[in-house]
Every structure is written in structure tokens, then in C-alpha cells.
């Protein structure tokens, strides 16, 4: 921000001009320039809402696809589903696109919708504080104060690399690489490498580096369900068909989204109602494991002890196969400590390594520690970190939380529909646009979801989870990021994507209260306005 803009803040934050509320620096502030923030920005621009800014802590757009560039990275759902419905790319090269192609899509999207001029890079929002007197948010942006009437959190589900918790790792004298901070100057050829973790990132990294390293030790705490994937190159003639007749790609997107949703949400949600189907799929995956991995003991170690869906499964045609290589070993004994030259496990054996790769996951968006580092303070002293720590997570339609007026989340508790991240973003953006439109129509300066509406929605969500795989005792063995420290499953929205989309169009506006600074009483929409 320029010095002149800083002076403007100092002058206008005071209070009112001509008896009217002082205008904040921005009507809307979006936090994050990944798919969530960019999709929200495109929605605002379509509604001719131009007074917004995106604060991005890094120096480029892309979020996850900017930060994660490890070997083998790619989407884990079909590419057709992994794009916005209004911006279909006809020339994807593969059924499961690689990371660089997704990043290219993001860059093109940002420029096509003219979002880049609204982005402030290298601008981390360190705190958000609600100003009740002036009905605006005060943001600490890299040490500067910026005000905004409304704040939209678009930080995504995976916020920061999680502390690895590997004892002694800081004493290791070799090279340490985190999967989300890959060092492309590092040459692994001919080296002894240890990978800690067997989640989605490891499933892609392990087979990508197994051929070039001298030895690869994979340290597993929890096995992961792996399914073979259909991943052909997309023929040029099919790309031309998509370009000439876009409706054909819309059909492909619809079908692939439904299939992914069935696997990730519908089947796990109906686990107790469809036990035969669930067990048949699990049996099929065990058969795939038996046919893939030669060594019986390794197969046993790779077999999950939890139901399909407790933890996000991974598609791969190469992960399990990597353990057939003579230079790859699966290690399931707990790590006692990392030494200066290797890794010692609880059985007393030490394996010397040159490179330690940490594929140990991320802090989730619901981790209280995220908001201890970047506090969010709302009405009446409400603190988001304390709320997440002490109370079960809840949010109206996964987007709004009481005591946080003018504050919305693209991905809040119970947010992910399973169909596609882009379905989630478009659904959340539609909800937020409706609320912002109603606030503008009424001249409201503060809008807050009611406790009653939030409680009612939360009861519905918890009811939908009954009978799901996430209620099965076997999930205790999954070590899944779906679960929070309360034992709940706030990552997933237990409804279909279509139900979520419908709700974004039809939720009652009177579930929110609208206020104006010149009319302190809280206003609800008149009954005839609810269906607007």
C-alpha cells in the first residue's frame, strides 16, 4: 500500500462524514488467492462488485498448486470435474492432470477474469478485528491496518505444513525436504532416502522417485486405501470436440463429479445402509492389493484396518507396485528418533539415509493454532481460536458463524461436498453474493447469522452423519484429517453437491439479521422478501 493510501486510512477511520458512516478502504476483503479466493473474486465481478481486494501472503496465485510441486503431483479426481463450470478447459492433456497443468489453468483464469489487479501479493493478514462502533473489520496486513466492510476467508483446507513431530529431525545432518516446500535443486539420484508419511502426497512421491534413488525407506503409521485409476492421455480429437461443442465437456464434468461424489460422500454416508456395497468395494481393493504386491508380509502391512471412507482414498497405478522393487522398504515400526545420519525405529534398528522427506501433512483450516497465529476477534470479544478449541465446530451452511458479522468462509466447518472443490467454491460464492446483495439493498452495514439458524443447521448436519462410516469404530485406526480434536468430522458436508447448490439459492435470508449504523436495531427481512 502506498503512503498516500496509508494517510487515507488515518483520515477516514475516525468515524463519520456528514453524519454517515465513514467508508472503509474496501467494501470486501478476500483472504487468499487460491481457487477459493479467485472463484469468489470472479463471482463479485460478475455482480459488478468491483470494490474488493485479495490479500495473498505469497508472491503468486495458486495456493496449494503453487506451494506443492513435488515429483508426481497431480489431481486425485478426474480433471473434467476439477474446473469451474463457467470456465471449462477443452485441452486437458490427461484424465488426471498433473500439477503444472492445474497451475497453468489458475494463471489463465486469473488473467481471463481480470482478477490480478485486485490482488496484493506478499500481504499476509495477521489478524482480523471487528469494529462494532463503525461496522467494519480492521485487518493487520503485514503490519499495516486496512479496513473492510466485509471479509471473506478463502484460506482453503490445508493452511500450513503441520509440525512434523518426528523426534530428532532437527538434528539430522543430511538434507530435509517437506513435501510442500520441495527443493528442486536437490538431486536424489543414487541417494538413500527416507519418506515419512503415507498420505496422498506420499502416494504420488514414492513411485516418482523410487527408480532414481539407491534405497527408499517408507515410514508408515497408517496404511491408505489405494484404487487403480483410469488415466489415459486425452486424444486431440476429443479435445477438439470439447472446444467446438462445450456442452460435451459439461456432460463429462457432470458425470465425473457424480462418480467422485458417490465414492467420497454418498457411499461413506450410507455405510450402514449399504454394507454389502461398501464391503464389496473394499474386497475388490484388497484383491487389487493381492495382485499388485508380491510379498505377503508387505501386503499385510499395506492393508487398512478401517472402513473405506474413514480417510480419503488415493488413486494410483504405481504406489503399491513400488514396494515390489528391491530398493524400496516399507517400515511400520514407530520411529524412535532421527539421528545425525539416519532413522532409528523402536525395534532398535537404525537405517542410514542421506535425505529425509517429510510428507507429514498440514494444519487444517479448523485447527485452533491457525487462529492463534492469525487471530479473528468478533462481536462481544468472540475469539475464533478459543471457539474452535473449546466448542464443537459449527457454521451456518459452512459459511457464517454467529458473533462474526460481515464475515464469511468459502470453506467452513462441514464444507466439502465431495463432488469437486470448484462446486464448493461456486456454491459458497452464490450464498455470499445473496447476502451481500440483500445487505446492499437494505443499506445495511452489518449482517450476522442467527444462533437459532446455526444451531438448527448443525443439528441437521449431525443427523445426516448417523449411519455413516465416520461413526464406525474402525475409523479410530485411520488417523484421518477428516476428524478434529473433538472427534467430529467437520471437513465434509454430509449432503450431495446438488443439495448444497440448491441450498445456496434458497436458504432463508431471514436466517441473517441486518443492521444499519443509523438504525441500531437489528432488522430481519419481511416475510415476502425471503424468497427473493
Query: What string of DSSP letters covers 123-155?
Result: --EEEEEEETTTTEEEEEETTEEEEEEEEEE--
pLDDT score recorded for residue 520: 52
Q: Where do we find the cell 542421506?
A: 354
pLDDT score recorded for residue 5: 35
Give the Cα-Cα-Cα angle 478, 479, 483 (nearest 5 degrees).
100
C-alpha cell at 159: 493452511
Alpha carbon distance 31, 154 (integer Å): 5
Which secondary structure element, helix H or strand E, spans residue 232, and what is its range? none
Tally Cβ neighbours within 10 Å of residue 54. 25
pLDDT score recorded for residue 528: 41
Alpha carbon distance 153, 413 (integer Å): 12
Alpha carbon distance 336, 223 (integer Å): 19
Closest CA to 9 of 153, 131, 152, 132: 131
- If DSSP states are collapsed to H, E and C, what string results for 23-69? CCCEEEEEECCCHHHHHHHHHHHHCCCCCEEEECCCCCCCCHHHHCC
Lateral strand order in the sheet of 512-516: 446-449, 512-516, 519-523
Pairing of strands 26-31, 144-153: parallel
pLDDT score recorded for residue 373: 96
Tally Cβ neighbours within 10 Å of residue 111. 11
Alpha carbon distance 63, 82 (integer Å): 15
Contacts of 271-278 with CB under 8 Å at 24 or more apart are 271/307, 271/309, 271/467, 271/468, 271/469, 271/472, 272/467, 272/468, 272/471, 272/472, 273/467, 278/307, 278/308, 278/309, 278/469
pLDDT score recorded for residue 97: 97
C-alpha cell at 333: 515400526
User: Quick check: helix, strand or coil at residue 160?
Assistant: strand
Q: Rounding to the nearest 10 degrees, give the CA dihedral for residues 384, 494, 275, 313.
A: -70
**Distances in Å between the alpha carbon of 129 and those of 151, 368, 383, 389?**
10, 17, 10, 19
User: Quick check: helix, strand or coil at residue 498?
Assistant: helix
Region of residue 403 (left: phi > 0; alpha: psi -120 to 50; beta: else): left
Q: Tens digit of pLDDT for each residue in 212-259?
A: 999 999 999 999 999 999 999 999 999 999 999 999 999 999 999 999
Alpha carbon distance 421, 497 (integer Å): 10
Alpha carbon distance 384, 371 (integer Å): 7
Residues of the chain where predicted confidence (pLDDT) is lower than 50? 1-19, 521-532
pLDDT score recorded for residue 15: 46
C-alpha cell at 104: 497453468
User: Quick check: helix, strand or coil at residue 72?
Assistant: coil
Q: Tens digit of pLDDT for each residue in 424-473?
A: 999 999 999 999 999 999 999 999 999 999 999 999 999 999 999 999 99
Q: How far apart are the first and last CA of the chain?
A: 39
C-alpha cell at 507: 436458504
**Distances in Å between the alpha carbon of 78 and those of 64, 93, 229, 305, 387?**
17, 12, 9, 27, 36
Backbone angles phi, psi at 83, to 5 degrees: -165, 160
pLDDT score recorded for residue 393: 97
Closest CA to 354 of 187, 210, 178, 207: 187
Amino acid at each position: 500500500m502506498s503512503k498516500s493510501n496509508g494517510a487515507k486510512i488515518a483520515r477516514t477511520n475516525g468515524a463519520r462524514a456528514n453524519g454517515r458512516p465513514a467508508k472503509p478502504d474496501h467494501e470486501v476483503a478476500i483472504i487468499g488467492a487460491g481457487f477459493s479466493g479467485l472463484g469468489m473474486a470472479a463471482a463479485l465481478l460478475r455482480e459488478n462488485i468491483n470494490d474488493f481486494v485479495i490479500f495473498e501472503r505469497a508472491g503468486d496465485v495458486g495456493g496449494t498448486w503453487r506451494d506443492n510441486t513435488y515429483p508426481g503431483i497431480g489431481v486425485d479426481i478426474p480433471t473434467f470435474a476439477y474446473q469451474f463450470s463457467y470456465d471449462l478447459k477443452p485441452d486437458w492433456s490427461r484424465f488426471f492432470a498433473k500439477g503444472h497443468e492445474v497451475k497453468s489453468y489458475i494463471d489463465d483464469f486469473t488473467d481471463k477474469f481480470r482478477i490480478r489487479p485486485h490482488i496484493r501479493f506478499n500481504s499476509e493478514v495477521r489478524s482480523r478485528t471487528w469494529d462494532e462502533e463503525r461496522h467494519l473489520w480492521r485487518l493487520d496486513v503485514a503490519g499495516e491496518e486496512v479496513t473492510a466492510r466485509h471479509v471473506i476467508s478463502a484460506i482453503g483446507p490445508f493452511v500450513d505444513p503441520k509440525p512434523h513431530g518426528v523426534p530428532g529431525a532437527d538434528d539430522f545432518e543430511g538434507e530435509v525436504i517437506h513435501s510442500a516446500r520441495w527443493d528442486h535443486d536437490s538431486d536424489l539420484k543414487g541417494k538413500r532416502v527416507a519418506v515419512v508419511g503415507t498420505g496422498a502426497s506420499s502416494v504420488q512421491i514414492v513411485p516418482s522417485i523410487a527408480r532414481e534413488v539407491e534405497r527408499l525407506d517408507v515410514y508408515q503409521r497408517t496404511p491408505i486405501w489405494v484404487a487403480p485409476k483410469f488415466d489415459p492421455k486425452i486424444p486431440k480429437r476429443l479435445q477438439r470436440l470439447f472446444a467446438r461443442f462445450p456442452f460435451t465437456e459439461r456432460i463429462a464434468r457432470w458425470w465425473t463429479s457424480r462418480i467422485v461424489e458417490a465414492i467420497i460422500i454418498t457411499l461413506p454416508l450410507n455405510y450402514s445402509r449399504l454394507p454389502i456395497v461398501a464391503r464389496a468395494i473394499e474386497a475388490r481393493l484388497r484383491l487389487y492389493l493381492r495382485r499388485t504386491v508380491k510379498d505377503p508380509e508387505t501386503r499385510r502391512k499395506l492393508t487398512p484396518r478401517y472402513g473405506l471412507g474413514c480417510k480419503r482414498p488415493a488413486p494410483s497405478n504405481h504406489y503399491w507396485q513400488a514396494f515390489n522393487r528391491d530398493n524400496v522398504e516399507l517400515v511400520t515400526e514407530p520411529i524412535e528418533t532421527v539421528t545425525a545420519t539416519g532413522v532409528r525405529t523402536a525395534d532398535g534398528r537404525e537405517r542410514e539415509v542421506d535425505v529425509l522427506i517429510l510428507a507429514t501433512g498440514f494444519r487444517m483450516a479448523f485447527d485452533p493454532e491457525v487462529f492463534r497465529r492469525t487471530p479473528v476477534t468478533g462481536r462481544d470479544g468472540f475469539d475464533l481460536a478459543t471457539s474452535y478449541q473449546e466448542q464443537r465446530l459449527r457454521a451456518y451452511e459452512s459459511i457464517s458463524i454467529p458473533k462474526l458479522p460481515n464475515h464469511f468462509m468459502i470453506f467452513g466447518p462441514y464444507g466439502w461436498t465431495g463432488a469437486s472443490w470448484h462446486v464448493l467454491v461456486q456454491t459458497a460464492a452464490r450464498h455470499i453474493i445473496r447476502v451481500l446483495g440483500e445487505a446492499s439493498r437494505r443499506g445495511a452495514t452489518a449482517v450476522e447469522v442467527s444462533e437459532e439458524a446455526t444451531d438448527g443447521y448443525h443439528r441437521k448436519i449431525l443427523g445426516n452423519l448417523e449411519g455413516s462410516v465416520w461413526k464406525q469404530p474402525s475409523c479410530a485406526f485411520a488417523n484421518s484429517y477428516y476428524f478434529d480434536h473433538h472427534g467430529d468430522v467437520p471437513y465434509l458436508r454430509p449432503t450431495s453437491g446438488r443439495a448444497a447448490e440448491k441450498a445456496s439459492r434458497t436458504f432463508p435470508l431471514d436466517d441473517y439479521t441486518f443492521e444499519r449504523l443509523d438504525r441500531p436495531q437489528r432488522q430481519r427481512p419481511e416475510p415476502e422478501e425471503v424468497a427473493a
